Amino acid sequence: MNTLNRISSQALLTIGCALFFCDSMANAGTGEQMTTLADQKSVAVTIYNNDLALVKDSRQVNLVSNDFSLAWRDVSAQIRPETALLRSVSYPGGIAVAEQNFNFDLLTPQSLLNKYIGQTVTIIKINPATGAESREHAVVLAASEGVVLKMADRIETGIPGRIVFENVPNNLRDRPTLVIKGNRSDPATQELELSYLTSGLSWKADYVAELNDADDQMDLSGWVTLTNTSGTHYSRAKLQLVAGDINRVQQELAAPMAMRGKVAFDAAELSMNQESLMEYHLYHLNRPTTLAENQTKQVALLNAVSVPVRKELVLAGNDYYYASSHGDLGQKLKVSVFVQFDNKESVRLGMPLPKGTMRVYKRDKTGNAQFVGEDWIDHTPINETVRLKLGQSFDVTAARKQTDFKQLSTGNNNTAINRFESAYEITLKNAKKEAVTVLVQEPIPGDWKIIEESQLHSKPVSNLAVWKVEVPAEGSLTLNYRVQVRY
């Protein structure tokens, strides 16, 4: 079977050179006129977060007939045809659309064979000894898993030579094409704009931050990564990006097609401009850009230097400690590392940040930038705080144990309130050559009260006790506390 498929593939490739001419002749026979990218005056693309884009394609078209059938070539292969809208820019109201058709099949050797099942084709063979060419008619019986042909006196599988087709069916196109039928009442030459929604165009934000030696400032750059798998390209497009969570009706069927292609980097001299749009944010690239078919492109979003940051070491507990006896709760517990910063103009930011991945680097003693962690950020408006979890500390560890537990009372049918008292010991160890501060965060359920503690705690929210513990260089410190809980 592999041999048959190889023969079929080689033979199918030989027919490609004739297909464009056949397609043009077929279109000419239908009275259809065509508009191509050569007619394009401008194109604008607005891309949303969730694999959705709005395309506005303007072309100068000469409608030769009052009742026209216009083949609009090089639309997106993933167009949602029910969203397509054609209007006249130069003569508003000058055209009326009666019908539009988008065929899913693109012209390929395989799709052409599929359309010819049950029809007659011509097989051309060349005698390897003499070079003489012979022709024979055959009916295509099947083309799904290899080709089956009915010759005059036999059945053959595979392709014994080149296949010649009489023409190309009207519903096969070499490029994605929307056929629009309608009529015009104004002059023939008009600027027409076709707008539609499509899948296959997406964007995401990526950020790169570099910390200084003291971990109290960073340089931040943001990139927008654009991916075009829509099946066409957009030359010198006016590009806009919408950040926000837009509600969409769930589609029952989806028709994804193209795959990833090459990557291009496009560093803008200036950051993107942005504006509010209803409950979303709209970002404008300040110059045209080309989105090639099957391409991933990156353009600059923002650049900020010396942004103040705050590093935190956090040991987080669990609420299940407080309702029963546990004893040892863990040795060499990991202490998490966070950095956070404020998205404010006063700290050289103040731009709404689209959701994306932020990767953090820091230079070693030789000056090489080393990766120290990454985290996901959600859409972040101005004056909000961004908090990133980078990983876990190597040199700062903890041990936690429950040193006492007793049940003070048991709820009955009338009150259903249980009261517990428990005590804990947390030992923090620091192998660094400098002192560190660790935030010990204990989520405590129900109605609680700290009755003894070796350091004072804070209560930022109703179910959380926080201790700010200073741990000496190459040393350790023990935190003790006792708590009563009712629930």
**What residue ranges do the domains of the chain occupy?**
8-41+58-106+172-196, 109-164, 201-308, 310-343+385-486
The reported pLDDT for the residue numbered 21 is 39
User: pLDDT at residue 10 above 60?
Assistant: no
Q: Tell how strand 67-73 and strand 33-35 pair up.
A: parallel
Domain 310-343+385-486, second-level architecture: Sandwich (2.60)
User: If you average pLDDT over residues 425-430, what whole number do you get?
Assistant: 97
What pLDDT does 414 receive? 62
| Of 138-152, 162-176, 357-371, highest mean pLDDT | 357-371
Which residues face 141 on adjacent strands? none
Tell whether the model's pLDDT for residue 25 goes beyond 50: no
**pLDDT value, residue 411:** 63
User: Residue 419 pLDDT more than 70?
Assistant: yes
Place of tokens 């499509």: 198
Residue closest to 138 by CA, chosen among 125, 308, 260, 230: 125
Highest-pLDDT range among 185-189, 365-369, 405-409, 417-421: 365-369
Average pLDDT of the residues in 28-38: 77
* Terminal alpha carbon distance of the chain: 72
* Total residue count of the chain as it appears in this document: 487
Confidence category of residue 16, pLDDT binned at 50, 70, 90:
very low
| Mean pLDDT calculated for residue range 365-377 | 94
Q: Are 357 and 374 in contact (CB under 8 A)?
A: yes
pLDDT at 1: 41
The pLDDT of residue 249 is 62
Query: How many alpha carbons lie under 13 Å from residue 432 in its C-beta half-sphere?
Result: 15
Residue with the bigger pLDDT between 108 and 212: it is 212
pLDDT tops 80 at residue 278: no
* pLDDT of 299 strictly over 80: yes
pLDDT in tens, 433-473: 999 999 999 999 989 999 999 999 999 999 999 999 999 99
Determine what percent of the chain is predicted with pLDDT higher than 90: 57
When the pLDDT of each residue in the chain is averaged and rounded to a whole number, the result is 85
Q: How far is CA 211 from the centre of its chain?
A: 27
User: Average pLDDT, stretch 409-426?
Assistant: 80
Mean pLDDT for 223-244 is 91
- Given the DSSP bridges, would you call strands 85-88 and 436-443 parallel, antiparallel or unpaired? unpaired
